[in-house]
A and B are shown apart, each in its own frame.
Chain A
Amino acid sequence: MGNGTSIGRVRGLGSAHEGVKHWWHQRLTAGSNLLLVTWLVVSLFRLPLWNYKALVLWLSSPWASVPLVLAVISVFYHLRLGLQVVIEDYQHDFTRVIAIVLLNFYAIGGAALSIYAILKVAFQGAIG
């Protein structure tokens, strides 16, 4: 391994082994979003009413609450990956790090809050 040229210094050190992961996960979650959010829209339109009782009854079934939890995970992961690219394109100094930390807080916090809410409704059932 040489010390002279930059190619000489990196040759043989291997890659970071994660360059493709972001790209691939963005497409993977694009596919799962396509299925799960389309299911959500169709499922909401199949409800006869959109009042409190109708929504609680709908979410008390695992056939609604489980896909909705999966949709929340898929959507918040996809938006985290997408906004990361937007931030990296426009923020070039230390604000980039702050913005990405805030993005991670938002994505994980939003997903956790949504999942907790879905499960609370699901486990309470249609009583009340």
Chain B
Amino acid sequence: MARNPGRPLSPHLTIWKWGPHMLVSILHRATGSAMAVGGGILLAWWLVALAGGEASYARFIDLMTSDSNGRLNWLPAVILIGLTWSFLQHLCSGVRHLLLDTGAGYELKTNKSGALATLAISIILTILIWAVIFTRGAL
């Protein structure tokens, strides 16, 4: 399986002008991998903390939030906002992939606007979701 280094490698990544479809394609893999590792661990951790009883859940929340005002600490906030955007971006480009699987949407303009739409929707929904969470105040 190892590549023979004596043979030339096609310069596939370096010679093309970047477009939204390429960005969305690699983001699908990146956001999926980030959720698979970070999101999976965090989900299991949250559920196990909850199953451990009131004191165990209090320790989990204490770790995630500030003692003074009960709001999320900056690091958990960055991770959770990142995972929220990853989820929405992966969801939108996943739905786009299901549509592309039918053979539709390969015309240049349609393909480009579809890719841009996944980015717009995921960013807008992330902002809306976190606006609601932050206005609800302490966890």
Contacts and interface: CB of A to CB of B under 8 A. Distances in A.
Interface residues of A, number: 33
Nearest to A38: B91
Interface of B is mostly: helix
B129 to A, nearest CB: 8
Nearest to A80: B36
Contacts, number: 71
Interface of B: 1-3, 29, 32-33, 35-36, 40-41, 43-44, 47-48, 50-51, 53-54, 57-58, 87, 91, 94-95, 98, 101, 129, 132, 139
B44 A83 contact: no
20 contacts: A30-B94, A37-B87, A75-B43, A79-B36, A79-B40, A82-B33, A83-B32, A86-B32, A92-B2, A93-B1, A93-B2, A106-B40, A110-B40, A110-B41, A117-B47, A117-B51, A120-B51, A121-B47, A121-B51, A128-B54
Interface in A82-125: 82-83, 86, 92-93, 106-107, 110, 113-114, 116-118, 120-121
